[in-house]
Amino acid sequence: MLEKELEEFEQEDVKDLTHIVTGIIREHAVIDWTVKDDVKREIHRRIKKKLRKYNCPGAKVEALAIQLMDPAEVHYKHTAY
Q: The pTM is what?
A: 0.83
The pLDDT value given to residue 65 = 93
Between vectors from CA 18 to CA 64 and to CA 57, what angle results, nearest 5°? 40
Q: For residues 35 and 18, what is the distance between their CA atoms, to the nearest angstrom?
A: 23
The pLDDT value given to residue 79 = 64
In the chain, % of residues over pLDDT 90 = 44
Confidence of residue 74 (pLDDT cuts 50, 70, 90): confident
Q: Residue 64, exposed/middle/buried by CB under 10 A (0-12, 13-18, 19+)?
A: buried
Q: For residues 46 and 68, what is the distance between their CA atoms, to the nearest angstrom?
A: 12
